Amino acid sequence: MDLAARIRDRQGSFVLFALTPPRQSTAPERVAEIAEATKARLRPLGLDGLVLYDIDDESSRNPTERPFPFTPTLDPAAYLAEDLTDWETPVVVYRAVGKYERPTLEGWAGAQDPGRTLSVLVGAASSDSKPALTLAEAQQLAGAANPDLLLGGVAIPERHTRRGNEHERLLAKQAAGCRFFVTQVVYDVNAAKNLVSDYAYACREAGIAPVPIVFTFSVCGSMKTLEFLRWLGVDVPRWIENDLRHAEDTLQASFEQALATATELVAYCERLGVPFGLNIESVSIRKVEIDASVELARRLIGTLRGTTAPA
Amino acid sequence: MDLAARIRDRQGSFVLFALTPPRQSTAPERVAEIAEATKARLRPLGLDGLVLYDIDDESSRNPTERPFPFTPTLDPAAYLAEDLTDWETPVVVYRAVGKYERPTLEGWAGAQDPGRTLSVLVGAASSDSKPALTLAEAQQLAGAANPDLLLGGVAIPERHTRRGNEHERLLAKQAAGCRFFVTQVVYDVNAAKNLVSDYAYACREAGIAPVPIVFTFSVCGSMKTLEFLRWLGVDVPRWIENDLRHAEDTLQASFEQALATATELVAYCERLGVPFGLNIESVSIRKVEIDASVELARRLIGTLRGTTAPA
């Protein structure tokens, strides 16, 4: 059963790999090369889908200096249309709604094949910014332009830790048409369990079936990457930071950490009856960290399907 | 190897069971009966030691209404001397130092056999209260009166969550003579791991060997008991509260939860090289909850020693 069907049926148990499109400054022929290399490398994994991020300069959200400089990246919808048309699985395209005018988003949503493209609409990074389109407007617009298009939203366990009402936000987004949620990178398994738990029991109380929650994981190969994770808003527990800082092999320690966290969340969701997905990315562009994230996806697919694909 | 030797050698891997002495209002012959029944029930477990709490009316620490009324209990030192002399293992006697005058504590410490009695000195419940003796004074006094007496201190992961410096407090207490630490009841495994991790790396940096950290566990059979745990200052994560609230059998769910938490902490301490102990109590006086705590101790002893004693 493919990704769109699994989400429509609220089945979950799928594994995605998330990519950031190449930089805008990349020459077109080099973009095509990158896309070919990426597809060649990811095909053997047997992924259920890809995720394409839409990177916004989040300096409005976080005034502290970005550990890695911001470089504008290609529009993920354009990257999909031009370079990933022969990719075999459905693709989840992020749309930072503040970046687009109404007709652009409407036209794009209307033109998508709902069996091939899904979309996660993301609000403006800071409530201070005045976006062209609000998240609620964008969701309504996309839904009207293409009623079969599966729309997702973001879920942030860290916000639940601070405010305690993220599960209510998820229910409100679900009422507005969201069919799945994707978290930011998870390092604090307790925060993720708190959110899933509150969401599950709120659904039960409201007589609503929970939709898949997709947990995102990334390895971390250096203290610089850890600093970037924190900058992105990821809560990294002290003990994990200490373990990574003092590990002989930080990347390997982080790999095992991510695997353990994912395994714990899968078991927890299965016990609670909440459908789930797993999404693997590398927040770093260093080759060793990307390699480790690919290996993490391979291992998690093996775990979920009860088999381990050959390395 | 017995408890005192394990602590002196910084070995850990022991299991204790904690008791609150009977109420002061209990008739002496009934106190003796309770003691006999307790010993008969705990003997088959093969515990490494007992812990006797010294209950203080903590209303100065927490102004919200106590879910269970406070009733003064017997002095644990008197209970030990009068009713537990034939108990086979060493006993860790708590002393709420604010309750005692200098000569009382000095005389008691001087009279103890260090192979049979250990002591945890506990400071006043609130920094507003003016105790007869401060914790530092009491520690110095007890150490001078009986240099071989093994003294312990309390470790509070929840305080580490709030202030981030509990590991420094542990190092300072250790420098002042503490040879082991006992936590309050642990429900937030992440908070406990954060404290152990910061403590372990601070010891490594200072070139000091870590002393055993004793983690305390209690089952919770009802929402009333959960409320009491919270009143005592225990952080119970949302997801655990939800699971217990919605469980068909709250006590059984809590039992499995405590077992999983203890097992995770044991594995984590072993990996970090921090000696540990386990301490089981029942914060509730309901018989089913006490029974489950005894069973929890039995299971944990089986796990630590690689065998499961017959039920």
Tell me what ipTM this predicted complex has.
0.88
- pLDDT under 70 in chain A at which residues? 58-63, 125-131, 307-311
Interface touch B238/A194, C-beta < 8 Å: yes
**Helix H or strand E encompassing B157:** helix B157-163
Query: Distance between CA atoms of B15 and B244, rounded to whole angstroms?
Result: 25
Kindly report the nearest CA distance between residue B249 and chain A, in angstroms: 15
pLDDT the model gives residue B60: 60
Residues 6+ apart with CB under 8 A from B75: B21, B54
pLDDT of residue A286: 92
- Rounded to a whole number of angstroms, the distance from the CA of B172 to the nearest CA of chain A is 21
pLDDT of residue A311: 47
How far away is chain B from the Cα of A285, in angstroms, using its nearest Cα?
A: 29
Distance from CA of A20 to the nearest CA of B (A): 32
Q: What pLDDT, on a 0 to 100 scale, did the predictor assign at position B64? A: 76
Lowest mean pLDDT among A241-250, B49-58, B89-98, B232-241: B49-58
| Predicted pLDDT of residue A107 | 96
Question: Which are the contacts of A236, defined by CB distance < 8 A and separation ≥ 6?
Answer: A187, A188, A226, A229, A230
Mean pLDDT of chain B: 93
Contact B194 A239 (CB under 8 A): yes
Q: Are B96 and B56 in contact (CB under 8 A)?
A: yes
A193 neighbourhood in chain B, CB within 8 Å:
237, 239
- Give the distance between the most distant pair of CA atoms in chain B: 54
Mean pLDDT of the B61-86 span: 87
pLDDT of residue A148: 97
Residues 6 or more apart in contact with residue B193 via CB below 8 angstroms: A237, A239, B265, B268
Instruction: Provide the 8-state DSSP code for B182.
Output: E
Q: How confident is the model at residue B69 (pLDDT cuts 50, 70, 90)?
A: confident
Provide the CA B180 distance to its chain's centre, in angstroms: 11
Contact B198 A246 (CB under 8 A): no
Q: How far is B79 from chain A (nearest CA, A)?
A: 40
Supply the pLDDT for residue A65.
Answer: 76
- Please, what is the average pLDDT of chain A? 93
Nearest to B242 among A189, A198, A238 (CB): A198
Q: B217 by DSSP, 3-state: which? A: strand
Question: Which DSSP symbol is given to B23?
Answer: B
For chain B, the residue count is 311
Contacts of residue B242 in chain A, CB cutoff 8 Å?
197-198, 200-201
In one-letter notation, the amino acid at residue A103 is P
Please name the CATH architecture into which domain B3-305 falls: Alpha-Beta Barrel (3.20)
pLDDT-based confidence at B311, cuts 50/70/90? very low
To which residue do tokens 């044991």 refer? B266
* Residue B116 near residue B48 (C-beta atoms within 8 A): no
For residues B270-281, average pLDDT: 97
Sign of CA dihedral A5, A10, A14, A20: positive
Identify the residue whose tokens are 């914060």. Answer: B283
Q: CA-to-CA distance for A281 and A18, rounded, in angstroms?
A: 5
Domain ranges of chain A: 3-305
Q: Do A201 and B246 touch (CB under 8 A)?
A: yes
B220 Cβ contact list (under 8 Å, min separation 6) = B226, B229, B244, B250, B251, B254, B283, B284, B289
Chain B residue with minimum CA distance to A160:
B238
Burial class (CB in 10 A: 0-12, 13-18, 19+), A229: buried
User: DSSP secondary structure string, chain A?
Assistant: --HHHHHHTT---EEEEEEPPPBTTS-HHHHHHHHHHHHHHHGGG--SEEEE-----GGGT--SPPSS----B--HHHHHHHH-TT-SS-EEEEEEGGGS-HHHHHHHHHH--TTTEEEEEE--SSTTS--SS-HHHHHHHHHHH-TTS-EEEEE-HHHHHHHS-HHHHHHHHHHTT--EEEEEE---HHHHHHHHHHHHHHHHHHT-PPPPEEEEEE---SHHHHHHHHHTT----HHHHHHHHH-SSHHHHHHHHHHHHHHHHHHHHHHHT--EEEEEE-SS--HHHHHHHHHHHHHHHHHHHTS----
Determine whether the interchain pair A194/B239 forms a contact, defined as Cβ–Cβ distance below 8 Å. yes
Contact at CB, A238 and B201, closer than 8 angstroms: no
Cβ–Cβ under 8 Å, residues B297 and B280: yes
CB–CB of B139/B151 below 8 Å?
A: yes
Work out the minimum CA distance from A193 to partner chain B, whole angstroms.
Answer: 6
Nearest to A242 among B188, B198, B239 (CB): B198
Q: Which residue is closest to B244 within chain A, CA to CA?
A: A197
Look at B190 and A190 and tell me if their CB atoms are within 8 Å.
Answer: yes
HSE, side-chain direction, 13 A CA sphere, residue B293: 27
* Least confident span in A128-142, A267-281, B154-168, B174-188: A128-142
Residue type, B43: R
- Within 10 A of B161 (CB to CB), how many other CB atoms are there? 17
**CB-CB neighbors (< 8 A) of B246 in chain A:** 201
B90-107, pLDDT tens digit by residue?
999 999 998 888 999 999
- φ/ψ of residue A95, rounded to 5: -135, 110
Q: Are B225 and B255 in contact (CB under 8 A)?
A: no
| Among candidates B197, B243, B268 on the partner chain, residue whose Cβ is nearest the Cβ of A238 | B197
Contact call for residues B87 and B48 (beta carbons, < 8 A): no
Q: Which of B83, B61, B56 is nearest to B71 (CA)?
A: B56
Between residues B279 and A126, which one has the greater pLDDT?
B279
- Relative to beta strand B213-218, strand B276-281 is parallel
Beta-carbon count within 10 A of B24 CB: 11
